[in-house]
Amino acid sequence: MKMILHRKEAHEAESKNAGHIKTLRWTTRNVSYQRCLWILALVRTYEPPSHHHDQLFIVNKDIAPDGFQRSTVLAGRTPQDASFPGPLITGRKGDRFTINVTDLLTDPTMDRSTSIHWHGLFQKTTNYADGVAFVSQCPIATNHSFLYDFGVPDQAGTFWYHSHLSVQYGDGLRGPIVIYDPEDPHQDLYDVDDESTIITIADWFHLTSLQLLAALVVPNADATLINGNGRYVGGPDTPLTVINVEHGKRYRFRLIDMSFDAFHGFSIDNHNLTIIEVDGINTLPHTVNFIEIYPAQRYSFVLNANRPISNYRIRALSNTGVGAHNFTNGVNSAILRYVGAPEEEPQTSQPLSSDVMIFREGDLHPLENPGAPGNPYPGGADLVLNFTLGFDADMVLFSMNGFTTKRRDAPAGPHPFHLHGHAFDVVRTSDSSEYNFKNPVRRDTTLVAMKNQTTIRFVTDNAGPWFLHCHIDLHLSLGLAVVLAEDTRDTKKDDMIPADWKALCPIYNSLTPSQLP
């Protein structure tokens, strides 16, 4: 993986030119009061940013989303309503959030401390709230709490939150975040965008994540859950998720892959999907009928409900395979149901159609401010870092920025890499040998494929220690990660560290071995 950074100082002039603040001045001269009101009524009402006060209780709870009951780690606004996925957090561009997270975990078979990462939110001047255990904070110990306080001044789109301690989020601690933009440039393309149009995908295991970590090799998932429901091969016919649509309306669906290990091929039978957002970045509309989505990635797509009134299968086929690696008896699937259709499951269970519009990440282009920073040729940046992952049949060799380690338990396979604190331009995607500096896809999580190269560029304009890591959680726990220390001199100056953050480490360090994991 090649990562190209641009120092903030090298682009101050460019940033000033690109960041003009536009002011609209209202001038009324010789116009009646009634006419002024009529003119102003045509203008969208301005709503000032809101301050959202929220809370999440982290608890152990037995659930059976695929019919198999197991203990889990879940979030809820009360301990009693903890769920999988966790409760939806919403706001508007420019809002501020204070979210108190209380750890009530007691099950010794899983981690009892926790931390929460708000995936995709840049945390500018609030690096302490990024939620990465042992990077930006010490974990929250059981029976303690921590107040996350951060804003989203310049971001809107589809995000999510999850535990960032060890492999804990595989036990269920994950949920969606949507930041709405009142001035969304794509709003004329859809009619419906609300809680009912969020789709989450997750691989699900009957073993705990610590059991999977101890085995070092993750087996195939037992089930694929869509919006928290699914089936496993040989299991009961548990209810599948049903997403209702009305004929003639256009829906903005927000697709989030919350998986622990697997990636998925996503489709909805007989419907095209027009992608308009990637990882919180507006894109030029691009129509496909199949999306390959990796852990931590998000896509917004518009679906036109213009097909005959019926039930259609929503498919999310895992690369690792669930059971027979098909859709028999509704595994790997959910239901898109038109209003007026009978309440029954689709009859089709065949594999995906061969008539697939090929999905390529490089075909996606940002809507606003396209173009990678730096000069338009390989190496045309202020600083170039090469991270090389090498693999050997008997001994896996890691070399990251000149530092080499040898481990027999190191992970192989494709790796979805996520960078905290930034979105980046993917100037060379893993499925191409060509570079694109003019309008490359911009996102925060991209694939590094086996025996291939991925190159990203971004500007270092956000002070703090930021994690760059594989988002297959087992791989991360085995060390497939690096911390980028960005503008370290400015971090203390820019980040006003709260007192309860400073208390996290002494509390965690006082835990006895019997209180860990």
Domains 186-367 and 369-486 share a fold: yes
Q: What pLDDT does residue 219 have?
A: 80
**CB count in 10 Å sphere of residue 36:** 12
Residue 189 CB-density burial (10 A; 0-12 exposed, 13-18 middle, 19+ buried)? middle
Going by C-alpha positions, the residue among 134, 8, 1 that lies closest to residue 401 is 1
Backbone φ and ψ of 492, nearest 5°: -65, -35
Structure pTM? 0.89
Backbone φ and ψ of 119, nearest 5°: -70, 125
Q: What pLDDT does residue 408 have?
A: 46
> In order along the chain (517 residues), what is the average pLDDT of each group of 10 residues?
53 37 24 36 63 98 98 99 98 98 98 99 96 98 98 98 98 99 98 99 97 84 96 95 99 98 94 98 97 97 98 91 70 96 84 70 97 94 81 42 48 84 96 94 94 92 95 88 88 80 97 90
Kindly report the CATH number that applies to the domain delimited by 186-367: 2.60.40.420
Q: Cα(115)–Cα(129) distance, rounded to whole angstroms?
A: 10
Q: What pLDDT does residue 17 have?
A: 37
Backbone φ and ψ of 251, nearest 5°: -120, 130
Pairing of strands 396-400, 403-407: antiparallel
Kindly report the CATH number that applies to the domain delimited by 48-181+494-517: 2.60.40.420
Q: What pLDDT does residue 489 have?
A: 78
Q: Cα(327)–Cα(351) distance, rounded to whole angstroms?
A: 7
Q: Cα(51)–Cα(97) distance, rounded to whole angstroms?
A: 6
The beta-carbon contacts of 308-311 under 8 Å, at least 24 apart in sequence, are 308/338, 309/247, 309/338, 309/339, 309/340, 309/341, 310/338, 310/341, 310/346, 311/335, 311/336, 311/337, 311/338, 311/341, 311/342, 311/344, 311/345, 311/346
Please report, for the chain, the start and end positions of each structural domain, with discontinuous segments joined by +.
48-181+494-517, 186-367, 369-486
Q: What pLDDT does residue 311 have?
A: 97
Confirm if 446 and 456 have CB atoms less than 8 A apart: yes
The verdict on domain 369-486 having CATH code 1.20.1600.10 is no
